[in-house]
Amino acid sequence: MSRRIVVLADVGGEDFHVGDEAMLEANLALLAERLPDAEVTVRGRGATPAELRSLAAAADAVLISGGGNLSSTWPHLLEQRIALLEAAADAGVPAVTGGQTIGPVIEEPHRSRLGAVLATVAVLGVREDPSARLALELGVPADRLAHQVDDAFWLEGAPPEDPELRELPERGFVAVTLDGSYADPRARAGLQSIAAQVAAVADRLGLPVVAIPHVGRLGGDDGPDPAAGRGFVSLVALAGARARLVAVPSVRDAVWLHRRAALTVSSRYHPLVFGSAAGVPGVGIARDDYTAIKLGGALGHVEEMQWVQATTAAEAGGLLPLVTSLLDGGPPDAATRSRVLRRLEAEEAARRTRLVDVLRG
C-alpha cells in the first residue's frame, strides 16, 4: 500500500509567490524521486485547521514545506501549522519539515503550543542560526534539528520561452527585486535613493538593470512587487541607467534568471537564495529583524552574510559603498566556492536521507 503523505505549503494566496512555490516544487520533486509510489496531498493557505486535523489523522506522514511563517506576524499560517502538527502527534503520525525561519516574535498562546508540538517533529529543518537557537529555547531536542539551506537552493530552473529574457544573460544584467512596500507613496524618497545608487552600480558595470518581481499575478504586471518595480525602473531610468521590468516569472524562469545575473540586489529572500547557489554576488536590504535574519541566513550559507544592510542605511546612501566593496573584493575564488558547495551538498544529502527515512516509515 502506498504511503499517504500530507504536504502543507504557503501557496494558494491571492498573489503568486515565487519563493513559496519554489520550495513546494523542490519538495514535491524530492518526493517524486525518492517515494514515487506515495499518495501526496498538498494543502495551502485556504485549508482550515479542521481540514488539516482530519488529513493528518488519516495520513501516514506529514511534511511542512519550507517557509518563514512560524511567526506571530502570520497568525493564520502559524495556526495552520500548529494544528496539523498537533493532530499528527495525537494520531502517532510522523512529521517532518523543510527549512523554516522561526520567529523572531511568537506570542502566547501560540508560543507554548508551538514549542510543545515542534518537540514532536522527527526532523525540524532550520534555515538560520537564530531559528535554530529559538527552536532550542522552545524545547526542541538538538538531535531533531537539521541545519539546512532553503528547500529551493538546488533548483536550476529552465530557459524562459520569451527570447528577450533568454538573451539577458548574454549581455549581462543587474537583477533587482524589491518587495511591494516600496510601492507605497511614503516610500518614494527611499526608493529614489536606492534607484540612484543602483544606477551608479549599473553604470560602473556597463550593464542594464532588470527588475524581477516575485509576488503578483503570474506572467503579468499586477500585484505588489510589479507596482514597486514600475516605480523603481522609472527612477533608475531618470538616473541615466537602462532598466526594464519583467512580468512575474514562473519558478523555473525566476531561478534561471537569478542564477545568471551579474549581481543581485534584493529586499526579498529567494533572489539571494537562487543567485548565491550559482555564485552570483548579492546584497540584501533588510527592513526589520525578521528580514535581516532571513537575508543573512541566505547569504550566510555561502559565507557572504556581511552583505546585508538595513533599509535605513541603504536608503541613506549606504547601498552604493556596500556594493562597491563587494565588487572590489571580487567573488569567492573557485576553490572557496567548491569547498562551500561540497559542504552544503554533503549536509543536504544527509538531511534528505533523514527526511525520506521518516516519510518512508
DSSP string, 14-42: SSEEHHHHHHHHHHHHHHHHH-TT-EEEE
Q: Which fold has domain 163-330?
A: Rossmann fold (3.40.50)
Homologous superfamily of domain range 4-152+344-360: Glycogen Phosphorylase B; (3.40.50.2000)
Q: How confident is the model at residue 291 (pLDDT cuts 50, 70, 90)?
A: very high
The dihedral over CA atoms of 184, 187, 189, 191, expressed in degrees to the nearest 10, equals: -90
Joined together, the cell numbers standing for residue 24 give 513546494
Are the beta carbons of 217 and 246 closer than 8 angstroms?
A: no
Residue-wise pLDDT for 227-259, tens only, equals 999 999 999 999 999 999 999 999 999 999 999
Fold agreement (4-152+344-360, 163-330): yes
Residue-wise pLDDT for 139-170, tens only, equals 999 999 999 999 999 999 999 999 999 999 98
CA 193 to chain centre: 25
Q: How confident is the model at residue 276 (pLDDT cuts 50, 70, 90)?
A: very high
pLDDT at 230: 98
| Statement: residue 331 has pLDDT above 80 | no
Mean pLDDT along residues 176-199? 98
What is the maximum span of the chain, computed from C-alpha positions, in angstroms? 63
Q: How confident is the model at residue 183 (pLDDT cuts 50, 70, 90)?
A: very high
Residue 351: count other Cβ atoms within 10 Å of its Cβ. 19
CA distances from 285 to 103, 226, 314, 318 (A): 19, 18, 7, 11
| Consecutive H or E run containing 91 | helix 75-91
Residue 151: count other Cβ atoms within 10 Å of its Cβ. 28
Residue-wise pLDDT for 64-120, tens only, equals 999 999 999 999 999 999 999 999 999 999 999 999 999 999 999 999 999 999 999
- Lowest average pLDDT, out of 162-176, 258-272, 287-301, goes to 162-176
Q: Where are the domains of the chain?
A: 4-152+344-360, 163-330
Mean pLDDT along residues 303-310? 97
The Cα–Cα gap between 98 and 348 comes to: 11
pLDDT at 37: 97
pLDDT > 90: percent of the chain:
96
The Cα–Cα gap between 41 and 51 comes to: 12
| Statement: residue 330 has pLDDT above 90 | no
| Statement: residue 275 has pLDDT above 80 | yes
